[in-house]
């Protein structure tokens, strides 16, 4: 959004400098992949939110630039490792690190990015460093825990909707909350405002992930940017699938299980028939309702902030823009 163009400029310049620095470091085999993935771009929403969280309280956003870089380095560390776990060939339309180099280099480079994130964060204003490190460490562990829960779900039959919300909160949402709160910390905001800003980011993250589940099934192919129905094809436990099992009668449960585990049905037919069941059970509407609930919670937390009113409105518009994804 236009309101954040100057913050994007500050952020991109810092990331570009970090990328160049990593590209020159030795041993090249370890640092070049780190520079490579940083150079692939992406939306960079998380580090942007760190600068937004600082600017919100009328502080110089550059006070939060080290925290923003730490967020981006950590996020890219997680992407390298996620791609290994998923055996993914592409990231942002380019070859993944483990495919371009190999698994061992990808693991080591990912580890290096995580360490680098803490090194960069420690360059923040020394008054704020202890609190920043505590929050960042806590969030990092939660993201890893969320990934483990997601992996566990692949082989568990008794996953509930509540389990799923807990998983996406850790895997996805807490980093959004952390990004914003670290910006607030750098601005010297009150503990009251920090916590409300964290909760705002967390609930926006939950809503975003639920809507991503909906888009995976119902989005326009050209606008979505990846295969529609991919979650159904891979039997991924999403909000809608878990809701479907909770709402289905005995016959529908049997039909759903047959569709998920049949070796005879084509992927396209599987997506078509599972989607038809979703339509019958109304799980799309329930998912959107759940996302709206978390959006409303987020906005209530935003209202409680002791911050610049105009900038609060800009953040509200930005969040609603992220969530308005044509579902």
Q: What is the pLDDT of residue 195?
A: 98
pLDDT, position 326: 53
Q: What is the pLDDT along the chain (327 residues), one digit of tens a residue?
A: 567 999 999 999 999 999 999 999 999 999 999 999 999 988 999 999 999 999 999 999 999 999 999 999 999 999 999 999 988 898 988 999 999 999 999 999 999 999 999 999 999 999 999 999 999 999 999 999 999 999 999 999 899 999 999 999 999 999 999 999 999 999 999 999 999 999 999 999 999 999 999 999 998 765 544 557 889 998 999 999 999 999 999 999 999 999 999 989 999 999 999 999 999 999 999 999 999 999 999 999 999 999 999 999 999 999 999 998 555
Exposed/middle/buried for residue 50 (C-beta within 10 Å: 0-12, 13-18, 19+): buried
**Pairwise CA distance, residues 27 & 3, whole Å:** 40
Q: Which of 194, 149, 186 is nearest to 168 (CA)?
A: 149
Q: Does residue 256 contact residue 277 with C-beta atoms inside 8 Å?
A: yes
pTM, full prediction: 0.94
Cα three-residue angle 261-145-245, rounded to 5 degrees: 30
**What is the Cα Rg of the chain in Å?**
21
H helix count then E strand count, the chain: 17, 2
pLDDT value of residue 103: 96
Give residue for tokens 């987020």.
298
User: For tokens 């094809």, what's the residue?
Assistant: 233
List, in order, residues 6 or more apart from 11 with CB less than 8 Å away. 44, 47, 48, 51, 65, 68
Q: Pick the closest to residue 308 from 49, 51, 56 (CA basis).
A: 56
């Amino acid at each position: 959004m236009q309101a954040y163009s100057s913050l994007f400029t500050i952020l991109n310049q810092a990331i570009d400098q970090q990328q160049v620095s990593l590209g020159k470091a030795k041993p090249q085999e370890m640092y070049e992949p780190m520079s490579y993935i940083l150079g692939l771009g992406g939306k960079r929403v998380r580090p942007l939110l760190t600068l937004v969280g600082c600017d919100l309280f009328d502080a110089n956003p550059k006070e939060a630039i080290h925290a923003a870089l730490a967020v981006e380095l950590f996020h890219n560390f997680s992407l390298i490792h996620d791609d290994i776990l998923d055996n993914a060939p592409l990231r942002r339309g380019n070859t993944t690190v483990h495919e371009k180099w190999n698994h061992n280099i990808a693991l080591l480079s990912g580890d290096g990015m995580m360490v680098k994130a803490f090194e960069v964060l420690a360059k923040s204003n020394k008054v704020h460093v202890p609190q920043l490190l505590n929050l960042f460490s806590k969030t990092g562990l939660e993201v890893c825990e969320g990934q483990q829960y997601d992996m566990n779900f692949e082989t568990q039959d008794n996953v509930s909707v509540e389990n799923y919300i807990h998983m996406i909160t850790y895997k996805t949402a807490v980093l959004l909350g952390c990004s914003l709160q670290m910006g607030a910390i750098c601005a010297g905001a009150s503990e009251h405002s920090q916590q409300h800003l964290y909760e705002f980011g967390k609930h926006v993250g939950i809503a975003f992930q639920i809507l991503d589940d909906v888009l995976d099934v119902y989005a326009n192919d050209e606008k979505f940017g990846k295969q529609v129905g991919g979650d159904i094809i891979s039997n991924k436990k999403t909000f809608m699938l878990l809701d479907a099992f909770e709402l289905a009668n005995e016959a529908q449960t049997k039909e759903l299980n047959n569709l998920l585990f049949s070796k005879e049905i084509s992927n396209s037919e599987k997506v078509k028939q599972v989607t038809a069941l979703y339509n019958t059970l109304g799980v799309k509407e329930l998912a959107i309702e759940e996302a709206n609930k978390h959006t409303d919670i987020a906005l209530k937390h935003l209202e409680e902030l002791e911050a610049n009113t105009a900038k609060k409105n800009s953040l509200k518009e930005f969040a609603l823009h992220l969530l308005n994804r044509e579902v």
